[in-house]
């Protein structure tokens, strides 16, 4: 299972890459593997003001439908439109081309409360 060291993670299996005040968000390799083949991704609206922990998106797979939660409070500033036509990118490259949305985060200190790679690895192995 791929768990990049430079990312932060949630217990709900989202990952965050924080660059300045922009947080790029997607689901983890563990999550995409558990879901199976992703067939549809409902992305949040750009401009949506979301509070950490809120469900803002859904992923539909051949097995189930799962919510995607925002790991940090902020405003959705971009979405990965490629997922509309190619939802399988979530399976093929969850940390790269399969990212879901970006947020403009006002207070980045919330990232410190997220799991680092070692803690996320421990969560998925338990």
Contact, 27 vs 59, CB < 8 A? yes
* CATH class, range 8-108: mainly beta
**Sequence-ordered list of residues with C-beta below 8 angstroms from that of 48, at least 6 positions apart, any chain:** 56, 75, 76
Tell me which residue of 47, 57, 77 sits closest to 12, measured CA to CA: 57
pLDDT above 90 (res 87): yes
pLDDT of residue 91: 96
Residue 126: pLDDT band (50, 70, 90) is confident
pLDDT of residue 112: 93
Residue 97's H or E segment, with its range, is none
Percent of the chain residues topping a pLDDT of 90 = 94
Residues 4-27: pLDDT tens digits? 999 999 999 999 999 999 999 999
């Amino acid at each position: 299972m791929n768990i990049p060291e430079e990312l932060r993670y949630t217990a709900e299996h989202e990952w965050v890459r924080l660059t300045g005040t922009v947080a790029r968000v997607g689901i983890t390799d563990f999550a995409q593997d558990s879901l199976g083949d992703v067939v549809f991704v409902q992305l949040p609206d750009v401009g949506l003001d979301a509070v950490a922990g809120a469900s803002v998106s859904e992923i539909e797979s051949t097995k189930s439908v799962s919510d995607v939660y925002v790991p940090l409070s902020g405003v959705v500033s971009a979405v990965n439109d490629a997922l509309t036509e190619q939802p399988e990118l979530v399976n093929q490259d969850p940390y790269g081309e399969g990212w879901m949305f970006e947020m403009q985060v006002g207070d980045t200190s919330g990232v410190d409360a997220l799991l680092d790679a070692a803690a996320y690895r421990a969560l998925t192995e338990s």
